[in-house]
């Protein structure tokens, strides 16, 4: 997904305005701001900077957010919402197979629309729930800074699609925040470490992010201030919570029990103690404690045995990400560690071994994304003039043209923001409506790409085919949100839409689309050539037919009969797969008709031969 372009000239923000950076995480969220030239995470009146991304709807109608809400996760799961980030911008169909991971009710009425969550008798959208977390963060910042906060930069995973980004932006709006930029988490983490500041040299960076419930590896390339995501991989259901579960399971089995033998309350106690043990073992060799009436202990050695398979899984993802980026471990210049779970020494050492180098862990891994967001915010506020960040769009954007071909308007890897346009024309006489179908992807046939939107340009005044001039304009803003405009230039009729897909593309789908396009490139090129030849043949036949009808009185019998015969021969093989044969018959027809066509050249026909048809 597109990373964020920051256009310094565009940022006309007055001095003294504070823009905060927000890491809206699956497990934990934070807000940070630039203070005396350094980014700092804010705590408000609370003791810590971390706000658990948990919301509890209490019996008395109060809504608790953060640490207080977290206490109800196991005691009252039906009224306690966690991991809402997993639902952002997604439809019921998207998350159908993940339902068992949520303790609360997800509504399945409209399977294509955005999901809703039921708590008691009310329905909540993931956007509204995320807004509650954002509001809590805003209040903390306001408390600590003693001023109102209205502007923010919010981070999202690199693989978030349009719909998920748009949903995050909307959540900000609901929380009273003008979201100036949506920024990729790995980009923010790299920024926090000051990577990409040396504009002369390109650097390749691996960002390893192991949080509470998700794992992401991103390979980035930074050159001339452009952050490009070369590849992403990961596991949306692997994180520190799995470490806690492994410990809990170990303790239960030592006691000769399973999770069904203990009460909810006891299980919660055990999970909390397991997390405590895990954190303790990040700096110590042994842990002991009590929970659920049991005296429990854990050594670092046993803990590492328990989590080894989980760590190995993340390493496999790293290798795949390298492979997808066409790189080897030694091509990576820097490795950045993100997420609370990278504090576990086994995680750190395993990643260092894989990449054959020391990893960056100087900054607090919980805070690093928020700190980077604060730096982005500061750049936006115009306070850091030596930085220019540009981002790129990872998939091509285009429209469907005749024969179901993908006509790319903004190619993959274009720097955003960007805009591009092209002219098209109609294929039928008197055509009043023109359908514009917008697609995303790398394949030559639109049926292999992803449809983003469709609209109809209507009210085109009656004209012969080929005469209308329809300008299609794509405008891609810095957040990767696309606006499409269509205008018939002769009449001035116009139509435009903002592309906001109902539900999005998952990380896997995106990777798959890119992979498929490479795999099928050869095949696609051949198919495209045949389809193009067929379309050209049809255009030629239509043009010739119109020509004959309009000019029968100006042509002699031989000319008419000869043209008809060649048309017939072209029609016979038009739908075949032999593009060379199609081309040679088009040529034959063309050569035969050229002398007399030139003689009585019809303006509309000459126009019809120009321009692509939709
Ligand atoms: P997310 O990005 O998913 O919101 P975080 O980056 O905040 O998540 O990571 C949360 C995870 O980090 C939790 O599983 C937590 O137990 C774990 N964690 C926090 N501190 C430590 C520590 N000192 N040692 C090991 N794991 C830790
Ligand atoms: Mg995170």
* Index of the ligand 1 atom closest to the CA of residue 339: 6
Q: What percent of the chain has pLDDT over 90?
A: 45
pLDDT at 496: 82
The ligand minimizing its distance to the Cα of 156 is: 2
The pLDDT score that the predictor gives to residue 519 is 64
Task: Choose the final residue of a domain: 356, 380, 404.
Answer: 380
Q: Does the Cβ of 49 fall within 6 Å of ligand 1? A: no
pLDDT of residue 520: 67
Cβ(393)–Cβ(184) below 8 Å: no
CB burial of residue 103 (10 Å; 0-12, 13-18, 19+)? middle
Same domain, 438 and 416: yes
Same domain, 465 and 593: no
What pLDDT, in 10s, does the model give residues 592-612? 888 887 776 655 444 554 545
Q: Whose CA is nearest to atom 7 of ligand 1?
A: 28
On whether both 299 and 399 belong to a single domain, the answer is no
Q: Could you tell me if the CB of 186 is within 6 A of ligand 1?
A: no
CATH number at residue 264: 3.90.640.10
Could you confirm whether 575 is annotated as catalytic?
no
- The answer to whether the CB of 427 is under 6 A from ligand 1 is no
3-state secondary structure of 408: strand
Task: For residue 343, report the distance from its CA to the centre of ligand 2, in Å.
Answer: 13
Evaluate whether residue 12 is within a structural domain.
no
Look at residues 219, 222, 225, 267 and name the one whose alpha carbon lies nearest to residue 247. Answer: 267
Structure-model confidence comparison of residues 6 and 282, the more confident one: 282
Pick from 446, 480, 510: which residue ends a domain? 510
Catalytic residue among 136, 142, 170, 209: 209
168, 160 Cβ separation under 8 angstroms: yes
Instruction: Single out the catalytic residue among 94, 170, 185, 559.
Output: 185
Best mutation site among 67, 155, 240, 311 for ligand 1, i.e. most ligand atoms within 8 A of its Cβ?
Answer: 240
| 300 vs 575, residue with greater confidence | 300
Per-residue pLDDT for 359 more than 60?
Answer: yes
Alpha carbon nearest to ligand 1 atom 8, residue: 211
197: tokens are: 């500041």
Check if 60 is active-site. no
Q: How confident is the model at residue 483 (pLDDT cuts 50, 70, 90)?
A: confident
Supply 309's token pair. Answer: 């398979």
If you average pLDDT over residues 341-369, what whole number do you get?
Answer: 97
Specify the residue for token string 């854990």: 298
What pLDDT is stored for residue 295 in this prediction? 95
Query: What is the pLDDT, as a whole number, of residue 36?
Result: 87
The mean pLDDT value for 462-483 works out to 83
pLDDT, one tens digit per residue, over 53-101 is 999 999 998 999 999 999 888 788 889 999 999 999 888 888 888 877 7
For a mutational test of ligand 1's pocket, the pick from 341, 349, 361, 373, i.e. the residue with the most ligand atoms closer than 8 A to its C-beta, is: 341
The answer to whether the CB of 473 is under 6 A from ligand 1 is: no
Distance 23 CA to ligand 2 centre (A): 7
pLDDT of residue 468 exceeding 80: yes
Residue 204 domain flag: no
Q: Best substitution site from 237, 273, 340 to test ligand 1's pocket, by max atoms within 8 Å of Cβ?
A: 340
Count of structural domains within the chain: 4
Residue 27: CB within 6 Å of ligand 1? yes
Q: Are residues 161 and 257 in the same domain?
A: no
Residues 31 and 86 in one domain: yes
Whether residues 534 and 469 share a domain: the answer is no
300 lines ligand 1 (CB under 6 A): no
94 close to ligand 1 (CB < 6 Angstrom): no
Whether 23 is catalytic is yes
Ligand 2 centroid vs 216 CA: distance in angstroms? Answer: 9
pTM of the prediction? 0.66
The pLDDT of 583-593, averaged and rounded, is 89
Could you tell me if residue 198 is inside a domain? no
Instruction: Establish if 332 belongs to a structural domain.
Output: no
Decide if 159 is inside a domain.
yes
In this structure, is residue 210 part of a structural domain?
no
Ligand nearest to the CA of 25: 1
If asked whether residues 89 and 183 sit together in one domain, one would say yes
Q: How many angstroms separate the alpha carbon of residue 28 from the centre of ligand 1?
A: 8
Kindly tell me the number of DSSP H helices and DSSP E strands found in the chain. Answer: 15, 29
Assess whether 386 carries a catalytic annotation: no
pLDDT of 601 reads 60
Q: How many A from CA of 118 to the centre of ligand 1?
A: 28
Question: Whose CA is closest to atom 23 on ligand 1?
Answer: 279
The answer to whether the CB of 241 is under 6 A from ligand 1 is yes
Ligand nearest to the CA of 212: 1
Strands 434-440 and 415-416: unpaired
29 domain residue, yes or no: yes
CA of 338 to the centre of ligand 1 (A): 10
Q: Exposed e or buried b for every residue in 475-504, given b needs 16+ CB within 10 A? A: bbebbbbbebbbbbeeeebebebebebebb
User: What is the position in ligand 1's atom list of the atom closest to the CA of 53?
Assistant: 4
Measured by CA distance, the residue closest to atom 22 of ligand 1 is: 279
Whether residue 479 is contained in a domain is answered as: yes
Give the integer Cα–Cα distance in Å for 248 and 250. Answer: 5
For residue 352, name the pLDDT band (cuts at 50, 70, 90).
very high
The CA-based angle 521-577-559, given to 5 degrees, is 130
Which atom, in ligand 1's list, is nearest to the CA of 240? 14
110: CATH = 3.30.420.40
CATH code for the domain in which residue 602 is found: 1.20.1270.10
How far does residue 388's CA lie from ligand 1's centre (Å)?
Answer: 32
CATH code, 455 = 2.60.34.10
Q: What angle do CA 340, 345, 349 make, to 5 degrees?
A: 115
Residue 210 Cα to ligand 1 midpoint, Å, equals 8
What is the distance in A from the centroid of ligand 1 to the CA of 20? 22
Tokens of 260: 């069904």
Residues 415 and 268 grouped into a single domain: no
Q: Answer yes or no: is the C-beta of 236 below 6 A from any ligand 1 atom.
A: no
What integer pLDDT is reported at residue 47 of this predicted model? Answer: 84
Average pLDDT, the chain: 85
Ligand of minimum distance to the alpha carbon of 365: 1
What's the rounded mean pLDDT across residues 539-564?
87
**Same domain? 540 vs 396:** no
| pLDDT the model gives residue 503 | 36
Ligand 1 atom index nearest CA of 25: 4
What pLDDT shows up at residue 570?
94
Q: Is residue 418 scored above 70 in pLDDT?
A: yes
Domain enclosing residue 283, as ranges: 240-305
Question: In terms of domains, do 480 and 536 share one?
Answer: no
Domain termination site, one of 510, 538, 553 = 510
pLDDT tens per residue, range 370-379: 999 999 898 8
pLDDT recorded at residue 64 = 96
Whether 395 and 463 map to the same domain: the answer is yes
d(CA 539, CA 208): 53
What does the pLDDT look like over 108-123, one tens digit per residue? 777 677 788 988 888 8
Instruction: Check whether residue 376 and residue 408 sit in a common domain.
Output: no
DSSP 8-state assignment for residue 293: T
How would you class 362 by CB atoms within 10 Å of its CB: exposed for 0-12, middle for 13-18, buried for 19 or more? exposed
């Amino acid at each position: 997904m597109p990373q964020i372009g920051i256009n310094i000239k565009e940022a006309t923000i007055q001095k003294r305005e504070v823009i905060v950076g927000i890491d809206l995480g699956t497990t934990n969220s934070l807000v940070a701001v630039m203070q005396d030239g350094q980014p700092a995470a804010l705590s408000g009146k609370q003791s810590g900077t971390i706000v658990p991304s948990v919301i509890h709807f209490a019996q008395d109608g109060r809504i608790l957010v953060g640490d207080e809400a977290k206490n109800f996760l196991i005691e009252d799961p039906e009224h306690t919402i966690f991991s809402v980030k997993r639902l952002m911008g997604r439809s019921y169909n998207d998350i159908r197979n993940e339902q068992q991971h949520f303790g609360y009710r997800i509504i399945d009425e409209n399977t294509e629309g955005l999901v809703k969550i039921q708590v008691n008798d009310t329905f909540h959208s993931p956007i509204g729930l995320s807004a509650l977390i954002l509001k809590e963060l805003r209040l903390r910042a306001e408390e600590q800074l003693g001023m109102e906060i209205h502007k923010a930069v919010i981070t999202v995973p690199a693989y978030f699609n349009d719909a998920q980004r748009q949903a995050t932006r909307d959540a900000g709006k609901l929380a009273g925040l003008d979201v100036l930029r949506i920024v990729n988490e790995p980009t923010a983490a790299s920024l926090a470490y000051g990577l990409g500041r040396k504009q002369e040299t390109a650097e390749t960076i691996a960002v390893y992010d192991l949080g509470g419930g998700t794992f992401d590896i991103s390979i980035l390339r930074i050159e001339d201030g452009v952050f490009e995501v070369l590849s992403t991989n990961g596991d949306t259901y692997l994180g520190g919570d799995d470490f806690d579960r492994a410990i809990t399971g170990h303790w239960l089995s030592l006691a000769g029990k399973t999770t069904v033998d203990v009460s909810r309350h006891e299980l919660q106690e055990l999970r909390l103690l397991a997390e405590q043990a895990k954190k303790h073992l990040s700096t110590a060799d042994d842990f002991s404690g009590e929970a659920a009436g049991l005296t429990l202990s854990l050594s670092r050695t046993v803990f590492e045995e328990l989590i080894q398979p989980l760590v190995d899984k993340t390493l496999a993802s790293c290798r795949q990400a390298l492979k997808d980026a066409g790189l080897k471990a030694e091509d990576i210049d820097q490795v950045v560690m993100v997420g609370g779970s990278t504090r576990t020494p086994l995680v750190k050492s395993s990643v260092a071994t894989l990449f054959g180098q020391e990893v960056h862990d100087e900054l607090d891994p919980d805070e690093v994304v928020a700190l980077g967001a604060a730096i982005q915010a500061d750049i936006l506020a115009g306070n850091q003039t030596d930085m220019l960040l540009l981002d790129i769009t990872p998939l091509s954007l285009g429209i469907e043209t005749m024969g179901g071909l993908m006509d790319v308007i903004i190619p993959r890897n274009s720097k955003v923001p960007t805009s591009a346009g092209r002219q098209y024309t109609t294929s039928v006489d008197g055509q009043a409506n023109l359908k514009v179908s917008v697609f995303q992807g790398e394949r030559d046939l639109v049926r292999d790409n992803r449809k983003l939107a469709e609209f109809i340009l209507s009210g085109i005044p009656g004209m012969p085919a080929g005469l209308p001039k329809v300008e299609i304009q794509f405008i891609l803003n810095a957040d990767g949100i696309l606006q499409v405009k269509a205008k018939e230039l002769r009449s001035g009729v116009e139509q435009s839409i903002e592309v906001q897909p109902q539900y999005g593309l998952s990380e896997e789908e995106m990777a798959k689309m890119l992979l498929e396009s490479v795999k099928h490139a050869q095949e696609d090129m051949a198919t495209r050539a045949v389809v193009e030849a067929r379309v050209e043949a049809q255009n030629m036949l239509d043009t010739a037919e119109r020509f004959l009808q309009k000019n029968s009185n100006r042509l002699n019998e031989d000319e008419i009969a000869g043209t008809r015969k060649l048309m017939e021969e072209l029609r016979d093989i038009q739908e075949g797969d032999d593009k060379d044969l199609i081309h040679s018959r088009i040529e034959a027809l063309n050569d035969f008709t050229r002398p007399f066509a030139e003689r009585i050249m019809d303006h509309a026909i000459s126009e019809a031969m120009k321009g692509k048809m939709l």
